[in-house]
Chains A and B, each alone.
Chain A
Amino acid sequence: MESFTPVSALLGGLLIGASAATMLLVSGRIAGVSGILGGLVRPARGETRWRIAFLAGLLSGGVLARLVYPQAFADSVHRHAPALIVAGLLVGFGTGLGNGCTSGHGVCGVARLSKRSIVATLAFMATGVLATYVCNHVLGGRL
């Protein structure tokens, strides 16, 4: 199983925080990935360019990380396509309905001490733990 990696986790978290903090301080926007992407499904005047730019940066960062640190994309889980599709639909619909994900609620919202974000974060952590339990220990990890 995976081992405890406190230093890289903390370092990665600092970079995520620095990125989100820059978006707030410079542009006054919440760096929530589901909100930024979802905002393109529901475009508003003057709110499209910065979203596309952020997502282009996020995708470029993925390409860059792949080149210099390919281990970051190790996939030891092996979910079949139907499970991935169901999971993706749930994440897309759920973050739309709940106005945010791990970044928008879990980082920005919790750090702003937003009651809605703290409750949302507790809710998705709880159902995440439950779903993982069912997948790993009831279904034996085969899906």
Chain B
Amino acid sequence: MSRAWVSFGAGLVFACGLAIAGMTQPGKVLGFLDVTGSWDPSLALVMVGAIGVYLPVYRVAMRRGAPLLEPEFALPRRKHIDGPLLAGAGLFGIGWGIAGFCPGPALASSAAGMPAAIVFALAMVAGMILHRLAGAPGQDP
């Protein structure tokens, strides 16, 4: 039970972080990606802030050896760079650059009633199902 509530709370805080950061405004995201236009570097600081918190906690968590409410960590095990990784990340970036939405903001903005986000998010879920049906390489945890 508590595990689900922690996940719920984390999702809630995640969405608030996205909204405060400006990630739920496609114009802000495209302003960051438009390096040859009037570039807005703000979103680089979103990564700086998030990584600044995550990196030390990751170190502490690894030293503990196990998470608080689970027997073990479920972290990606693969190490090598392969074609699907590069192709997948490349395709994702193209979609991100067209619409200004990545998955988290697309879902949060859909719930906020933003029409463009709803259209995008439905297509995104369809894309995930297509990937599943195509039998393409699987999802690590």
Q: Nearest Cβ distance between residue A100 and chain B, in whole angstroms?
A: 8
Q: Which residue of B lies closest to A96 (CB)?
A: B131
Picked from A35, A75, A127, the residue with its CB within 8 Å of the CB of B27 is A75
Picked from B6, B27, B96, B112, the residue with its CB within 8 Å of the CB of A77 is B27
Number of residue pairs A-B, CB distance < 8 angstroms:
527
Once the chains are docked, how many angstroms separate the CA of A42 from the CA of B13?
26
Whether A25 contacts B96 by the Cβ 8 Å rule is no
Q: How many residues of A contact B (CB 8 A)?
A: 116
Q: Nearest Cβ distance between residue B137 and chain A, in whole angstroms?
A: 7
Chain B residues near A4: list those with CB within 8 A. Answer: 40-42
Could you tell me the dominant secondary structure of chain A's interface residues?
A: helix
Whether A94 contacts B111 by the Cβ 8 Å rule is no
Residues of chain B having any CB pair with chain A under 8 Å? 3-28, 30-31, 33-38, 40-55, 57-58, 60-61, 66-70, 72-76, 78-81, 84-104, 106-114, 116, 119-132, 136-141
Residues of chain A having any CB pair with chain B under 8 Å? 1-6, 8-31, 33-35, 37-39, 41-42, 47, 49-51, 53-66, 69, 72-77, 79, 81, 83-103, 105-112, 114-116, 119-121, 123-137, 143
